[in-house]
Amino acid sequence: SSSSRFAAAVTQHAPAFKGTAVVDGEFKELSLNDFKGKYLVLFFYPLDFTFVCPTEIVAFSNKANEFRDVNCEVVAVSVDSHFSHLAWINTPRKVGVEHLFRAFSAGAEVSVPSVPACVDSTVQ
């Protein structure tokens, strides 16, 4: 079934993905291979610019360095485009998620194996 194809679990390998990312304000190709040799937390949220999950997303982003300290990267996934992610991470935290660490786009026209992304590696 399609749900079992993408079912993920702790210690399981993440599905391969690749796509356009925003790294330090510039578009770049990024893939699962960029995380080789590291643990990876993938979490999903509905849309940018909503108030459904920004508290949790900001909390993950705020802990990015703690995750890195244990060789783990955190990636957020939604259906929005990488353009939308860029706009959202450039929006002050009062209404956005300024400097969000990473957000991948899994839009309706994009499957998990080709996930575009936004990355802000300037977050300390």
Catalytic residues: 53
Q: What are the beta bridge partners of residue 117?
A: 104
Structural contact between residues 47 and 82, judged by C-beta atoms closer than 8 angstroms: no
Q: Which residue has the tokens 């499957």?
A: 111
Between β-strands 102-105 and 26-31, what pairing exists: parallel, antiparallel or unpaired? unpaired
